[in-house]
Amino acid sequence: MIKFLQDLIQIESLSPRDEGCFDIIEDRLSKLNFNCERINYLNVENLYATFGDKGKLFCFLGHTDVVPTGPVEKWTYPPFSAHIEGDLLYGRGTADMKGSIAAFLESLDEFFATSPNLNFRIAILLTSNEEGDAVDGFIDKIVDDMIERDERIDLCLVGEPTSYEKIGDSVRIGRRGSLGGSLKILGKQGHIAYPENVNNPIFSASDVIVELKNTVWDNGNAIFQPTSFQISNIHSGTGAKNVVPGELDMFFNFRYSTESTQETLVDEFESILKKLNIEYEINWRLSGLPYLTTEDNLKDVVVKSIENIAGYTPDLNAKGGTSDGRFVAKMGTEIVELGPLNDTIHQIDEHIKISELWTLKNIYTDILKGLNSKLS
């Protein structure tokens, strides 16, 4: 497993490019008699592998792409060297999420060796653009095509890094929605010495920001944190020191709970602009709806497996950002997310503990065995 993970890490699969990860994954799955299919869409490569012909469809969902390394000179070891130092394996993608892929493939080997009678179907769906931009294509097209063919993933395990202090201490059973927007506040450009002849959009923006910051969008619920609002970028000015700009651009994002909807957030946001008499232009972009797994089939098996292998009960939550689970959720699929620690993801010196990866593999194996028993 560790050598296989090192091979994956040494492939510089910067989003949205796979760059050969699927080749070595497919080679391994073919030896287990999986039917492997490459499904390419726009600039994105996807691998869909299936095994079995009866029972519910269980899918492991993941991605081979990684985020950029940042300044290479700041890494202790080259980011694609897959260097091992003691119990630590360093490299971009070790935790997010090539480690999960290696652990799940290893768990398949063990499961098939000990469970000859399979009571459910197994699928693996991997994409090369989980980290990148939607313009390159996501797996939503694959899911839409499956829905059109009346195919359905019943149970889905997402290998995203969900753990905090130890493997399996945190499990996602839902995700908040993501609603972003670009706001252009319009003013009137002019000479800075003649305030009576200008309308400074920066001043208007300051009023808007205070109002937005102090708004309570909702209070969340037992699973979801309250909806949060953040501003990521603000741009204004002509570059000249004596010119009041005529417009200001602001990029913002809501991470919202099931207590809010896209419609209620848009309405409240724009009502604030109108209340402050702001002249504006706005474009909205929905990146993902919130989802929550309420069924207990997969959830109970995952919790029991963590208790069996790790000896503690995980926290079930809907924290963190979005994941590709949001695309599968529209099938009515039971989705649970479980993976490595997330304390170094996207950072300089991203790494994973080898001992913890073996624990994750053992949990994955126990999940497969638990499903085989539950679905018999």
Beta strand residue intervals within the chain, DSSP E: 35-38, 46-51, 57-63, 84-85, 88-90, 121-127, 155-158, 170-172, 174-175, 177-186, 190-191, 228-236, 243-244, 247-256, 280-288, 291-292, 315-317, 334-337, 351-353
* Residue 307: HSE in the Cβ half-sphere, 13 Å Cα cutoff: 9
HSE value, Cβ hemisphere, 13 Å, CA-based, for 10 = 11
Mean pLDDT of the chain: 95
Q: pLDDT digits over 137-154, tens only?
A: 678 888 888 999 988 999
Q: What pLDDT is stored for residue 130 in this prediction?
A: 83
Enter the DSSP assignment of 61.
Answer: E
> 44 pLDDT band (50/70/90 cuts)?
confident
On the question of pLDDT at 351 being above 90, the answer is yes
Q: Quick one: average pLDDT of 259-266?
A: 97
Predicted confidence at residue 328, as pLDDT, reads 93
Contact 171, 163 (CB under 8 A): no
**pLDDT of residue 30 exceeding 90:** yes
Pairs from 71-80 (Cβ < 8 Å, separation ≥ 24): 71/348, 74/348, 75/348, 75/349, 76/349, 77/349, 79/350, 80/9, 80/10, 80/11, 80/12
Q: CA 9, CA 103: separation in Å to the nearest integer? A: 14
Is 337 among the catalytic positions? no
Q: b vs e for 310-325, b when ≥16 Cβ sit within 10 Å of the residue's Cβ?
A: beeebebbbbbebbbb
Please give the helix or strand (H or E) that residue 167 lies within, else none: none
DSSP notation for 191-203:
ETT-GGG-B-HHH
DSSP of 230-286:
EEEEEEE--S-TTEE-SEEEEEEEEEE-TTS-HHHHHHHHHHHHHHTT--EEEEEEE
User: Which of the residues 18, 26, 96, 130 is marked catalytic?
Assistant: 130
219: left (phi over 0), alpha (psi -120 to 50) or beta: alpha
**Strand 177-186 with 280-288, pairing:** antiparallel
CATH superfamily of 2-175+290-374: Zn peptidases (3.40.630.10)
Q: Provide the residue ranges of all domains of the chain, joining segments of one domain with +.
A: 2-175+290-374, 177-288
Is residue 134 scored above 80 in pLDDT? no
Predicted confidence (pLDDT) per residue in 221-254, tens digit: 999 999 999 999 999 999 999 999 999 999 999 9
Selected catalytic residue, list 18, 65, 324, 356: 65
Cα(372)–Cα(82) distance, integer angstroms? 34
Type of residue at 342: N
pLDDT at residue 188 tops 80: yes
SS3 294: coil
pLDDT range class, residue 26, cuts 50, 70, 90:
very high
Q: Which two tokens stand for residue 314?
A: 């995980």
Q: How many residues does the chain have?
A: 376
CATH of domain 177-288: 3.30.70.360
Q: How far apart are CA 272 and CA 18, in angstroms?
A: 44
Q: Catalytic residue at 296? A: no
